[in-house]
Amino acid sequence: MTSLSKGMAIAGAIVIPPGLAISGILGGFKGLASGFVGFTIASLHSVALVYTLSFAIGNPRFLTSILSGGYFLRIILLAGVLYGLHFVKALDMIPLLGCFLALFIAHSVVEITCVVKSYGVALRGFKESGKKQEDETG
């Protein structure tokens, strides 16, 4: 879990400064404010993701229910918040959605990388335990 959190923090440190600079240059103060809002929404989504994962790992009996329910709840809330921000005239939707998607994609890449790494470790351990059983029986 700590590698996921560290990876998300590093991804944010890489994506946020250029995103704000581009939003500010292309959209002025309105674009800069929209970039801040987009990054804030993506960051809150990531915090909710890490909290959901840590809660699900703590309750292995309900792991699949917590993960699937948390996923759908986060997606519904994201859709509602982004739709609601559409009506705020002080924000420009293009920088808002661009900054949100940039950080969301960066965090998704980090999440997928951590899952693949942990799956590889689990698969390697499974193969080694199978070899031990073959050596004992044969």
Domain count, the chain: 1
In a domain, 60, yes or no: yes
pLDDT at residue 72 in the model = 93
Mean predicted lDDT score pLDDT of the chain: 86
In a domain, 122, yes or no: no
In a domain, 120, yes or no: no
In a domain, 121, yes or no: no
Q: Is the pLDDT of residue 1 over 80?
A: no
Tell me how far apart the alpha carbons of residues 129 and 132 are, in angstroms, rounded to a whole number.
Answer: 5
In a domain, 54, yes or no: yes
* Orientation angle between helical segments 63-85 and 93-137, nearest 10 degrees: 170
- For residues 109 and 7, the answer to whether their CB atoms sit within 8 Å is no
In a domain, 124, yes or no: no
Q: Is the pLDDT of residue 123 over 70?
A: no
In a domain, 40, yes or no: yes
Q: Is the pLDDT of residue 52 over 70?
A: yes
In a domain, 129, yes or no: no
75-106: pLDDT as tens digits? 999 999 999 999 999 999 999 999 999 999 99
Of 102, 88, 92, 124, residue with least CA distance to 41: 102
Domain that holds residue 97: 2-109
The whole-model pTM stands at 0.78
Q: Is the pLDDT of residue 136 over 80?
A: no
